Amino acid sequence: MSVSKTAAAEGGRMGKEGAEAGAEGLALQLGELSELLGYSLKRAQLKIFEDFLRCVAPLQLTPAQFSVLLLLDRNPGRNQTEIASTLGILRPNFVAMLDGLESRDLCARIRSANDRRSHILELTDKGRAVLARAKKLVASKHEARLNELLGPANRAALLAMLTKIAQEF
């Protein structure tokens, strides 16, 4: 297997990985690990989520909760199954999540008149307000920092490739 070394060369701004000229133990070599896309993908994802949590900390929202609020705002009149499935959340696990949001008065379950099995989900006024504030924090702090690191064009290219992987892989 022959792998181009260009990315490895661009990736690090130092010749060797983590060249800490410390006391005794030399830094470990990542080796082929730095060429494994899944490895970088996972580490990048952890960093991104970590930063997201920091940026939106005043609102106490996790990425998953934020995605639910976004989806409820954009898709009124949907029930739990529909919202959960489009987010890749299993119905049983979505119950506790909704309990959390509802107990904070960010959304509400409404018994449907047509189908009394299902609960229509809707944002409360407070939910809409929190979502609006969250959007601003995410845009001004989180995504802005990404744009600063990568540049708008690269950020767009990255998003497009990730979306492609998520959809077609």
Residues 28-67 close enough to bind DNA by CB under 7 A: 62, 64
CB 58 within 8 A of CB 137: yes
Helical ranges in the chain per DSSP H: 6-11, 37-55, 63-74, 80-86, 91-103, 125-137, 144-150, 152-168
Buried b (16+ CB within 10 A) or exposed e, 84-102: beeeebeeeebeebbeebb
* Least CB distance to DNA at residue 102 (A): 9
The binder of 109, among DNA, its own copies, none, by C-beta within 5 to 8 A per type, is DNA
* Least CB distance to DNA at residue 94 (A): 7
The binder of 155, among DNA, its own copies, none, by C-beta within 5 to 8 A per type, is its own copies
Half-sphere exposure of 5 (CA within 13 A, CB side): 3
Residue 15, beta-bridge partner list: none
Residue from 45, 75, 93, 163 that binds DNA (CB under 7 A)? 93
Other residues' Cβ atoms within 10 Å of the Cβ of residue 72: 23
Q: Select the span of 94-102, 124-132, 133-141, 155-163 touching DNA (CB under 7 A).
A: 94-102
Distance CA 68, CA 63 (A): 9
In the bound state with its own copies, the residue whose beta carbon lies nearer, of 83 and 103, is 83
Residue from 40, 79, 124, 147 that binds DNA (CB under 7 A)? 79
Phi-psi region of 60 (alpha: psi -120 to 50; beta: other; left: phi over 0): left
Residue from 29, 81, 154, 163 that binds DNA (CB under 7 A)? 81
In the bound state with its own copies, the residue whose beta carbon lies nearer, of 103 and 149, is 149
Q: Is 86 in the site for DNA (CB under 7 A)?
A: no
The binder of 152, among its own copies, DNA, none, by C-beta within 5 to 8 A per type, is its own copies
Binding to DNA in span 99-128, by CB under 7 A: 109, 114-119
